Structure 1
Amino acid sequence: MADTAPANAQVPQQQAAQIQPCKYKTGKTLGAGSYSVVKECVHIDTGRYYAAKVINKRLMAGREHMVRNEIAVLKKVSMGHRNILTLVDYFETMNNLYLVTDLALGGELFDRICRKGSYYETDAADLVRATLSAVAYLHDHGIVHRDLKPENLLFRTPEDNADLLIADFGLSRIMDEEQFHVLTTTCGTPGYMAPEIFKKTGHGKPVDIWAIGVITYFLLCGYTPFDRDSNLEEMQAILVADYSFTPLEYWRGVSNSAREFIKRCLTIIPSERMTSHEALSHPWIADTPVKEGEDLLPTVKKNFNARRTLHAAIDTIRAINQLRAGGGAAMIHDGASARDPAKIVENSRPVDEDVMELDSRGNGRGQTEEMIREQERRIRETQAGLWGQRR
């Protein structure tokens, strides 16, 4: 990659790369993406620990603009807001690009919630307020994040009062305020994407507010508002804002103010959506009542875990269907274990959806324990029968 520079320099697109030896020692893996891995690292000279996003140059061939963009965004906002992950260093070696950031030791947002002893609506409002504050800062600096989701919200430390951090700016864009700032690239995570992204009519700052609405809904019940059987159906629901506060048993303890906040975020027409500063002034965010009302943790935790179990089950069933349809040979030839359906390769034969059916993602909302156990039983029986037939 030629268009790179160290952290204390500008990033002109025609500047040749400055190659230098790695001054960090990497440790355990913290996460992984399609073209990068995030590792814990220590600065060899100072002994300080950080997180390093290690990007493989070979895997990034043709997508270098994503890295340049992430660097430019992080450099512009680093150290400017307590709820934004700080870029500490940037450099490249012969084989990799390195983005070194603060080490967020507190874990992901929803994992943290599930470990709590209790969780109230006011706790959700606090989390949304912190996120909105950072988003308002980004918007004030002409930056759209475009990929806000719980997985990109991390805590700085394990302490209860730790700062919530917005991370991963790989899909952000610095917007030139003097130009007509609309973005037409389809990007992001489908369930959190705004209608205008799918329409490809141009989009800007309002897409982050839409994502805030989806996150808020998720924080209050444990599932997302547009979860459907497929990405296509999910997109169709998003385009017409087809969602509701159901089942009622999971929303009975949520205030009307919270619901109204979500509605103001999940507005189809971008210009009618709240701005980040208007959202910060909304009564649900601006007013900070004492913790009272219903403990949402049992519902949120149950629905989140049921959703995670169902999605994992669907992945397993799809893999088993592929094996039954003849994909097993492809797996073996690609070096994957035929006894591990999770390792099925992407270029195997199409799934025969009629081989075995499973409750759809849309029915994953608020599953009962009996439903989950029945699905797991069916998977175990199918796996046992499949592996028995192949011996």
Structure 2
Amino acid sequence: MSSQSPNPKPQVQPCRYKTGKVLGAGSYSVVKECVHIDTGRYYAAKVINKRLMAGREHMVRNEIAVLKRVSMGHQNILTLVDYFETMNNLYLVTDLALGGELFDRICRKGSYYESDAAELIRSTLSAVAYLHDHGIVHRDLKPENLLFRTPEDNADLLIADFGLSRIMDEEQFHVLTTTCGTPGYMAPEIFKKTGHGKPVDVWAIGVITYFLLCGYTPFDRDTNLEEMQAILAADYKFEPADYWQDVSNNARDFIRKCLTIDPTKRLTAHQALQHPFLSEDKEETQADLLPVVKKNFNARRTLHAAIDTIRAINKLREGGVMDGALSIAPETQKDTPAPQNETNTGLWRKPTGGLMKQ
């Protein structure tokens, strides 16, 4: 009989990274810039607060499993470089995407054409097809999860945030029944809880395409209930007409075929890549879409910020807990201990599965 303990103590290792400025924050985590002490290379560290994630640790394990399977396999997918944990936090070290979010980049451009939107969707769909070929469904595709690798004009667009992704068995379809994602980008079958799979990512691509061509989402409504009802019925229009007058029929047809209620009749990612909207050369006399897109985007961002504030105030008055869906970052910052303090101790615990090689 072995004298070894069934639960050996985690291996303690010296710190390999030094963290820097905050790049972003979420409900359970904060993303910080970090540098590898030995190589001097810069990365992004997703710092996940263990206490806030109590009972949800499987989400982190799942994200690591997904990223390990697809990292370095496609130029448009964020690469997982390392992962480890300390007493208080879990760390996922990834590529450092310094080019910013998709729509912020568009709004800073001097001009923006349908061909630009098509190129962005082509890059995203190429990565989605790669994920699907490897049995992975992302489940949370939206502009906020699309980042540019560098500030250069020709920088790669990267799919990030695989926290809601799932690894699926071969061609099993009715596998996932958990409601997840961001409401405006969720497919009808997610709300119905009848089972969903890879087609939900293509639906999200349809919503993103619509958004990239006009600056607002097709199912944008005053309440979550109205939004869900619109999604279930695929109730959207290419209106107002003056916002869509410079958008081609091919682009509209692409959106329609992505926003098909029946997932079995929806385009697959590979089929979508062959659609004329993405595969044909654009006319050289395209109109600049930037003025309309930028105006609509800024107007809706202001409106939704006001709505979120009102909802937050109402929740506080009711004595309820703040909804994680609201954009209130300070509580995250307060609850997430700065890893810099732990770095100074020089002690890092090695998680089950070990450290990934550089």
1:255/1:322 Cα in 2 relative to 1: closer, same or farther (>3 Å)?
Answer: same
Aligned equivalents of 1:317 and 1:18: distance in 2?
48
| Residue of structure 2 aligned with 1:60, choices 38, 53, 58 | 53
Instruction: Quote the residue 2:146 is aligned against.
Output: 153
Instruction: Quote the residue 1:166 is aligned against.
Output: 159
Aligned equivalents of 2:329 and 2:175: distance in 1?
39
The answer on 1:42 being equivalent to 2:29 is no
Instruction: Quote the residue 2:202 is aligned against.
Output: 209
| Residue of structure 1 aligned with 2:242, choices 236, 246, 249 | 249
- TM-score norm. by structure 1 comes to 0.77
* SS of the residue 2:264 aligns to: helix
Query: Which of the pair has more CA radius of gyration?
Result: 1
* SS of the residue 2:207 aligns to: helix
1:59/1:117 Cα in 2 relative to 1: closer, same or farther (>3 Å)?
Answer: same
1:182 is displaced (CA, Å) by 1.9
1:141 is displaced (CA, Å) by 0.4
Q: Larger relative contact order (C-alpha < 8 A, sep ≥ 6)?
A: 2
Q: Counterpart amino acid of 1:77?
A: V
Q: Could you list the per-position Cα deviations for residues 236-284 of structure 1 after superposition, in whole angstroms to 9, with x for gaps in the alignment?
A: 1100100000010100000000000000000000000000000000000
The answer on 1:298 being equivalent to 2:291 is yes
Aligned equivalents of 2:140 and 2:116: distance in 1?
23
Q: Conserved in 1, the CA contact under 8 Å of 2:26 and 2:329?
A: no
Gaps of 5+ in 1: 1-13, 335-341, 346-391
Instruction: Quote the residue 1:219 is aligned against.
Output: 212
CA RMSD of aligned residues (A): 2.3
Q: Any residues of structure 2 matched to 1:1-391 within 5 Å, and which?
A: 18-177=11-170, 182-289=175-282, 291-318=284-311, 327=317
Q: Counterpart amino acid of 1:238?
A: I
Instruction: Quote the residue 1:5 is aligned against.
Output: none
- Percent identical: 83
Report the more deviating stretch, 313-322 or 96-105. Answer: 313-322
Aligned equivalents of 1:283 and 1:15: distance in 2?
58
Q: Could you list the per-position Cα deviations for residues 55-77 of structure 1 after superposition, in whole angstroms to 9, with x for gaps in the alignment?
A: 11111110011011000000000
1:45/1:214 Cα in 2 relative to 1: closer, same or farther (>3 Å)?
Answer: same
Gaps of 5+ in 2: 1-6, 322-327, 332-358
Instruction: Quote the residue 2:345 is aligned against.
Output: none
Aligned equivalents of 2:250 and 2:172: distance in 1?
37
Aligned equivalents of 1:201 and 1:289: distance in 2?
39
Q: Conserved in 2, the CA contact under 8 Å of 1:122 and 1:291?
A: no
Equivalences, count = 319
* SS of the residue 1:312 aligns to: helix
Aligned equivalents of 1:123 and 1:170: distance in 2?
28
1:44 is displaced (CA, Å) by 1.1
1:275/1:320 Cα in 2 relative to 1: closer, same or farther (>3 Å)?
Answer: closer
